[in-house]
Amino acid sequence: MKFPVFVKPVLVVRHVKINPMGEVKTEIENAIQTLGLVSSDIYLLDKQTGEKVFTDCLHHFVKSGDRRWWWEDFRQPSFSFKHFDKPFEYIKDIVPEQDRHVWLIVEDDDEPFYPVYETKPEVIGKVIAACFAFEYYVVDKDKQWLLCENHHNRLIGIGESLKSKNIDKIL
């Protein structure tokens, strides 16, 4: 007499990333929607352009190449700003030319390279205020200056035009 063979079903669970974007990029996209911003205010560069801008900025500003914290190894002399409680609120006043678009490069370790947004300086503080904390770099599109906020809430700058405009705010 043969007995029926019972096969116990096996449940296979695989880690599936539901959101294809990194955590910081998702946070920024949510902030853009919440604030009702449009592409003329801020937009994410397409993958190819974003990677090129990221790589060009990395090689221009960082001595040791791809690293998590650019501010630890800048090529050019850097300077620190006085302490601000919420440094991102001062970006619009600190950048040399407030009417020119800049790049906002955000540290997002879930991405193959840091995402790059093109935006107006006045928009950056609003977006960051609507997000959790992350490190970011605000970069002149001609790469004449760079401004970053690190995880110590410290503003660090590079570039003579940025320095000369803010001499009263520098340590």
Residue 147 lies in a domain: yes
Residue 56 lies in a domain: yes
Domain with 46 in it: 23-169
Q: Are 25 and 42 in contact (CB under 8 A)?
A: no
Report the predicted TM-score, pTM, of the whole model to 2 decimal places.
0.83
**Dihedral sign for Cα atoms in the order 81, 102, 26, 106:** negative
In the DSSP assignment, the letter for residue 100 is S
pLDDT of 13 over the 80 cut? no
Residue 17 lies in a domain: no
Residue 8 lies in a domain: no
Residue-wise pLDDT tens digits, 95-149: 998 889 999 999 888 888 899 999 999 999 999 999 988 889 999 999 999 999 9
